[in-house]
Structures are given as C-alpha cells and as structure tokens.
Structure 1
Amino acid sequence: MSEAVIPESCRKCTAVRLGNEVYGSWDSRHKRSSFIMAYWHTKDGEIFTETGTGDLTPGIIQNYYLHNLLVRGDNNIHLFARVKWLRALPARYRYHCGRPVEVWSQDMFESFGPSAFIPVARICCKFVRADGELSGRKVSFICPLNTGTNI
C-alpha cells in the first residue's frame, strides 16, 4: 500500500446523475429518487460478496461521497452512497399484497458498519413507497421500478 495515496478528504454530494437517471438523497430536493433497492447485505448486516445474490433490500440514500484514490499515479474515483436500510418483516406480511408489491417495516436500520455505505454500481433499481398500516403495524408498501437503470 506504500504506492497508494489516500487523500484526507472526500466530497459530499446530495444528488448524482448516472446516465439518464438522477439519484437524489434524503438531504436533497430529490427525496423521491433516493428510494433504491440493492443486493447488498444480509439480514444481519453482512455484505454479499456476489452481485445479484440474496434478496433485494430497499433503502433510502442519505447522501453520496465522492472519493479519489491515487494508486501508482492513476486516479481511481469511487462514488459511495450512505444508505439507511428498511427492516424486513416476516414473509406472511412481506408478500401480503402479492408481487411486485412488498411490505417492509417503517423502522430503519441505523447501520454504521460496512453495509451503510454502498458503491453506486451495486444499486439495482429505484422504488416507490406508500406508508400505511397492516395488522396494527406501521409499514411501507414498496414497488420496485424496473426501468432498466441497473448501473
């Protein structure tokens, strides 16, 4: 690692444009475009090592971090999203409405570990959300938007 230079700072962003899509964050005026789904972590917060394995998990992007790493004179730019993930419900609630709509808890993981930061390349799609109640629980009804924006 002696040939790598890690700058002491990074740039914090509230929205990014990737291709034709604008991805917002909870800190921006693009709140609705901050709802994303990704194959990123397991129920216990461990990161999936292979893209496309496990379940798609909904999350809300809080903000973005643009980081530059110099390795052997080459610039390597990385864009990470800080995400709060929604908590899963048991399957009897989760698929209550039938696919593609899923029901998730309104509670969010306050994750400060590695699963809180996701490379934007691992984002699968956006989703729309409607909050409501199911069997006395506050829940979020989620429908993925499969618009072909997989990065």
Structure 2
Amino acid sequence: MKNRIVCYFSAAQSEQPLIYRLVRNYDLIVNIIKADINPQKEGYLVMEVEGSREQYDQGVEFLKNLGIMVEPLSETVIWEPETCIQCGACASFCPTEALAIDRATMEVSFENSRCVVCEMCLDCCPTRAIKLYFEIKEAAS
C-alpha cells in the first residue's frame, strides 16, 4: 500500500529520528514531499509512505504513540484550464512535471497523479488558474 500523509509535530518530537525508524523498524519506503519547521522546531512533514498494510499501520501507530498528529494528505492542486492563458510559467517551476507544456502545441496540461502539492506553481501563475483544494478526511489509521 502507498499513502500520502501529513505529520504535525512539536519541538520535542522534531528531535526524533522518525524517518530512520520508519525505514528500519517497519521496513517502509518513505518519500519526503515537503517539510516546514519553524524556529521553535515545530512543524509538519508531508510524505508518501509505502509498504505492506501491516507495516504501514504499525508505522503510523508508532508515530501516533510519539504524540505526532497523523492525517492523510488532504489538499490537492486544481488547475483551471478556462482561466489559464497558456504562458507556461507554472511548468517551469513544477518539479514533477505534473504541470507540463507540450512543445509542439505550446499548451499547458496538468496530470494530478504526478502532483506532490509542493505549491511552487501557485505564486507564479499570473491568472491564478492554479489553486489549492482542501478535502476533509478522517485521520489515517
């Protein structure tokens, strides 16, 4: 199973070797998508976690037992083609090529399955054709 989760943590929890333990103790594949830690060492970590269902559940339980709040990634990027002026600025900033420009037609396209919600495209779009959409989901178990 593969799932994208967000972990919210305190300063004390940020000192823990979380990724190391998820990989070593639970044999999970962890891909860090985004992290933000403030000067007080509190913050969040967005990651994609892959492994067997049992390993995944045990790894998430480990994080929760440390007091880390774990939720499924609940935001997605929405591209509004009717608002897009096809300038291609977003494609130059997109690290996963979810937003791409076809050189033959010079048209921008968006493939949501490639998007990791890094938000780099949001500020560069002059028409604001790219937005964040928030879903309400139950916490991962």
TM-score range, shorter chain: under 0.3
Q: Which structure has the greater CA radius of gyration?
A: 2
Q: Normalising to structure 2: TM-score of the pair?
A: 0.26
**Higher strand content, 1 or 2:** 1
Larger RCO: 1 or 2 (CA < 8 Å, sep 6+): 2
Q: Normalized per residue, which structure has more helix?
A: 2
